[in-house]
Structure 1
């Protein structure tokens, strides 16, 4: 299990404690990438890579560090798409595993919602997190780890 790492898009990641616990249990290195503007108040027992606050700095730094089979935790469909193309795996903090077969549809939906907002419309935001999201995330993170 030393061949891959858990890489976290740490700008507002709500599952850092779960990642810390699972990474320790499976003896996997976990690295949190975040901008200066989003350093977590509570530090967990993981490596931190802090980058500047320019737009997309965290995403670009992750892309420069990601390797085949790494697990990336991100809410960003665009970043998920890019890491999947490099042979990495990706999971959302809600526990949804991003798959090549679905990523184009997710990106298209994001584009449509952006167009609606640009035209002055409103789109529905994400629902509030709950304990089921945390349980699903942990279960699917372990599933990705054990598939390797």
Structure 2
């Protein structure tokens, strides 16, 4: 069985770390619909992939969260794509299209930070970094060792 707390990666954008409350992916194909007058059938034509968008609800927590959120805002506004690492999907290059920061009086030290990220590539799959491959390799070794231990009990 997978150990989720151990296997999740720390989330970050351009090296600025944050916690993730939720991330959602919107993706699909663009379909051109050809509807003809008097016709009873719609002709569908694939027109390529739709632009994928990750909507992330992140948060910063702690005594220096006010400084961290300024760093994250600066990273989001920097020119060009940056490396986005999500806890389950791993890392990939993306543009942050927009973001929304939220602070509440009664939750001091907790800053919500939502953003939409568009991957640099719309291809299926992610670009894995060395840390992603290493984590997968180490996790497989640990799981294999645990399986062998169970065999020899």
Q: Specify the TM-score bucket, using the shorter chain as the normaliser.
A: under 0.3
Q: Larger % of helix: which?
A: 1
- TM-score normalised to the size of structure 1? 0.22
Structure exhibiting the larger radius of gyration computed from Cα positions: 2
Q: Larger % of strand: which?
A: 2
